[in-house]
Amino acid sequence: MSFLKPRGRIFRKFRWGVAGIDHVGGPESPEGRAKLGSRIEEVLKADVRRSLVFSLVDLSNFGIKAGGRGGEPDPSFKQAAENGVSVIVWGKAGMKADIKTPDVSMDGYVYDAGSDEVVGGNGMRVRRRWSG
């Protein structure tokens, strides 16, 4: 396991971009105000903003639209990388509404600008089952 440690007085934060978490099925929240993918995206962005190691970048500045991509990186990710963005994450999340055992799943993808490749992908599938 690796740990990031600032050295000296200057520490440059890693610049992150979130390219959207698509909602791929299931009901909206009980209040009807947010879909699962949007809510996960909000939480992820808030966590990055609070981080002492990462800073959140608005990817629309590089012409990157949120959502609607499968497991492949957008060609415009390279432009963001050339402008200092280290990591771009995106994914899709959905819920199957079953009264006895609701099933929530998420596929997450991470673009590493340093190596110009996607890290993770299908191996990052998260599935949670619980009974209410």
Contact between 39 and 28 (Cβ < 8 Å): no
Q: Check: CB of residue 80 under 8 Å from CB of residue 17.
A: yes
Domain ranges of the chain: 14-129
* Cα gap 132→116, rounded to integer Å: 43
Strand-pairing partners, residue 121, are 108
pLDDT at 106: 80
Q: Average pLDDT in the 74-92 region?
A: 90
CA dist list (Å): 55 to 11, 16, 50: 12, 6, 9
- Paired tokens of 38: 């949007």
pTM over 0.95: no
Query: Domain 14-129: what homologous superfamily?
Result: ABC-type transport auxiliary lipoprotein component (3.40.50.10610)
pLDDT of residue 118: 87
